[in-house]
Amino acid sequence: MTDAFDPPRPWTRSYAPGVPDDLPEMTGSLMDLVADSAREFPDAPALEFFGRVTRYGELAEAIERAAAGLRAQGVRKGDTVALVLPNCSQHIIAFYAVLRLGAIVVEHNPLYTARELRKQFEDHGAKHAIVWSKVASTIQDFPADLAVSTLVSVDVTQGMPRYMRAALRLPIPKLRAQRAQLTERVRGAISWEQVVGYAPLSPAVPGPDTDDIAVIQYTSGTTGDPKGASLTHRNLLANAAQARAWIPEVHRGEGTVVYAVLPMFHAYGLTLCLTFAMSQAARLVLFPKFDPDMVLKVTKRYPATVLPAVPPIASRLLQRAKEKGVSLEGTRIGVSGAMALDADALVEPWERETKGYLVEGYGLSECSPVLIVNPVSDDRKAGSIGLPLPGTEARVVDPDDPTRDVPQGEAGELVVRGPQVFGGYYGRPEETERVFVDGWFRTGDIVEMDEDGFFRVVDRIKELIITGGFNVAPTEVEIALRQHPSIADAAVVGLPGANGEEVVAAVVLDGATEIDADEVRDFVKRILTPYKAPRRVVVVDALPTSMIGKVLRREVREQLLAADAR
């Protein structure tokens, strides 16, 4: 058994040149990221929203003004403050203004239903909320026991260039419709303009400490009830520093451009956009939603140095660029997460068009979120999630006895520890205790590690299908199904059957109107062992996905069970 307190790290031998094995101890707070960039590069572009640019000096002052405005509304150190915002310049200012006061940001999806938002508010109990005007009424309709004392309404159009705001007010039906999609009038709330109208906060007001909770990040809930992961300033500082160390050829303050096409309320977008980009003194180009035409318009002016994405976003952008005849050359580093990346179908054409890299990574909300990434070099391994980041320790253990390591090359549960790993779930000590063993966080993912330290995800423990006594990994079957010429996408789940569970595939067809289930099974059996082939194949119009495009297998399973019941 590996010494749990001093495990080997074979992956450091596979690091790209210039990447350190470890990082210095984290000190300070997330406030230092913007403050340092503003001091060193005050005139450098920090944010761009529909063409309107905010420079680092302006951003730092806006944060101090907003912090003063929030303090006047009663926000104090340790308070939870809900943010329910799309990607916009106000989101970044609000995020850091809350942190400036030593308060805790709670990120929310602004497209959530009232029920989904209520469930999270019941959990964290925030009495202060900064929200998109389109969802303000949802918060105002909460029952009395959930009512917030401070509601700040944000009109995202106020972050746009003046000419664009003027155009949206013209009495033209199309423009009125666009304005209605972006904002609406809110009564009984404080406007964001009032909050940022204060004089900058006095330097005498103390800020946060390194080990204070900075963000409560809710897990996606794809495998159960969403829980709030408490991430400290140390956790998030470390993950931003690890990301910087991973790409030593990208230098701070030298015109780095980061595209925020991922939602910043998601842990992936939060770290690579809200913290990493600010620490690099980068130009962060904000997109309220992914629109390939909008992205290509910016690409013509300055391609992304770093483009955090998921495979569906990269695929759509590549396809649209070809349709419009726009070159993606100059897009240096694409980072893909959340789901498996197809090397042949996506990586090869992406890198051919961009002359850059598209590397796969892996993380969880509980880990700030990035843990493992492929090196940004020709030594990356297609089909793997890559190598643990500097300072990250990882082991592959027996899921039934997580104190015992499995032999190298065998599948087991990934357990990790490192400066980016959280300390626990907000207000849930029993849940926290369940996911740690001897100080190691149990990811719930089944992985394999090869002789060079590269990891490959086999599947999630809770999503493994047990059929006839055999374990079937849904991801493996989905990859095989997507190779079928008539199948565009697939989700594989286990449903009750005669032998425990049976493998069932929900598939989206690619141009075909029907499919032969027996032929599909035979097709899969030519790729995988027979017991992994789906017993049933169900054709669906679309698969339910999360905000970042990840297929929600739990919802697929619930839909198929409901259909069987009917």
For residues 98 and 69, what is the distance between their CA atoms, to the nearest angstrom? 10
Q: Write out pLDDT tens, residues 283-308.
A: 999 999 999 999 999 999 999 999 99
Domain of 163, CATH number, reads 3.40.50.980
Q: Provide the pLDDT for residue 546.
A: 78
For residues 157 and 165, what is the distance between their CA atoms, to the nearest angstrom? 6
Q: Is pLDDT at 2 greater than 50 in this prediction?
A: no
Number of alpha carbons in the 13 Å side-chain half-sphere of residue 506: 21
The two beta strands, 104-108 and 213-218, are parallel
- What is the total count of domains within the chain? 2
How many C-beta atoms surround the C-beta of residue 1 within 10 A? 10
Among 414, 411, 407, CA closest to 393 = 414
Domain that holds residue 64: 54-207
Q: Provide the pLDDT for residue 563.
A: 86
Domain termination residue (choose one: 160, 186, 207): 207
- Whether 332 and 377 have beta carbons less than 8 Å apart is answered as no
Q: Provide the pLDDT for residue 527.
A: 87
Give the pLDDT mean for 452-480. 82
Q: Is pLDDT at 459 greater than 90 in this prediction?
A: no
Q: Is residue 186 part of a domain?
A: yes
- What does residue 429 show for φ and ψ, rounded to 5 degrees? -60, -35
Give the pLDDT mean for 28-42. 98
Confidence band of 222 (pLDDT split at 50, 70, 90): very low
Tell me the average pLDDT of the chain: 92
Q: Provide the pLDDT for residue 534.
A: 94
Q: Is residue 251 part of a domain?
A: no
Domain termination residue (choose one: 176, 207, 238): 207
Q: Is residue 501 part of a domain?
A: yes
Confidence band of 335 (pLDDT split at 50, 70, 90): very high
Give the pLDDT mean for 232-249. 97
Q: Write out pLDDT tens, residues 121-132.
A: 999 999 999 999
Q: Is residue 77 part of a domain?
A: yes
Encoded amino acid at 227, one letter: K
Q: Is residue 197 part of a domain?
A: yes
Domain termination residue (choose one: 154, 185, 207): 207
Confidence band of 223 (pLDDT split at 50, 70, 90): very low
Give the pLDDT mean for 371-394. 95
Give the pLDDT mean for 485-506. 88
Q: Write out pLDDT tens, residues 43-102.
A: 999 999 999 999 999 999 999 999 999 999 999 999 999 999 999 999 999 999 999 999
Q: Is residue 354 part of a domain?
A: no
pTM of the model: 0.85
Domain of 494, CATH number, reads 3.30.300.30
Q: Is residue 359 part of a domain?
A: no
Q: Is pLDDT at 468 greater than 90 in this prediction?
A: no
